[in-house]
Amino acid sequence: MNPEPVSTVNVLIMTAFDSLHGTVVAADPSEPASSRPLTDWVFGYGSLIWDPGFEFHETGLAQVHGYHRTFCIRSTRYRGTPEQPGVVLGLDRGGSCIGMAFRLRPESRRAAVDALYEREMTGGVYVARQLSAILVDGRRVQALAFVANRSSASYERLNDDEIVRRLSACCGQRGRNREYAIRTWHSLAAHGVHCPHLGSVGRRLLETGCD
C-alpha cells in the first residue's frame, strides 16, 4: 500500500494556491515574553502536525510561499546528541510548503505562544516569523511559524544519503530521529499531501527496516 497517496484533496489545494503569494513579516526572536505576538494562528510543517502541544479550536491544511520544508537543522537535543547529532525539518528559503494551520483558543493563546517559543527557539536554530498562510477555503491568515536560521551553526545543507544515515541512527530526548521523519510523512499523507522530499527519505528508511 502506498503511504503517500496523491488525492483529489492535494490537487485542489495546489490549484487553489498556485497563483497566491504570501507576505513575510519578521519577528524578533530575542524579544521578551510579554512582547511576543499574540497570534491567532500557528503554521506547522513538521512535528507540530502530529504533536502540536497546545490547545486549538480550528485546524486545516494551509500553504505558505517563499519557504520549503527540508531537513536542514542539526539536532543535538530532541532527536540526537552532541556526539551523534540528528537532523530535523526547517522551513528554508524558496518554493512553498503545505502544512497545517492551527487557530489558537483566545483564552490560552499566550500560554501556547510561550510554550512554542520554549520548544522551538532554544539555541537560536529557528527564527520566529509571521507568515501569510492560505487556507483551503481561500482565507489568508497571518500565522506564526519557525523558519530555519541560516546564521545558526546548526543550519546544514545535507545530501539525502547523509540525511537518511542520521535519521536511521540517531535518538534524542523526544525519541528516535527516524520516527520523527516517518510520522511527519505519514501524517501529511493522511491529509492527502504528497511531499516528494519526505516521501523519498521515508521510503528509504522503510527499505532499511525503519518503521
Active site residues: 120
* Helical residues (DSSP H) of the chain, grouped into ranges: 8-17, 109-120, 160-169, 177-190, 196-207
Element at 102 (helix H, strand E): strand 86-104
Q: Tell me, rounded to whole angstroms, the distance of Cα 169 from its chain centroid.
A: 21
Contacts of 183 (CB under 8 A, 6+ apart): 47, 50
Contact by Cβ (8 Å): 130, 25? yes
User: Could you identify the residue written with the cell 520554549?
Assistant: 118
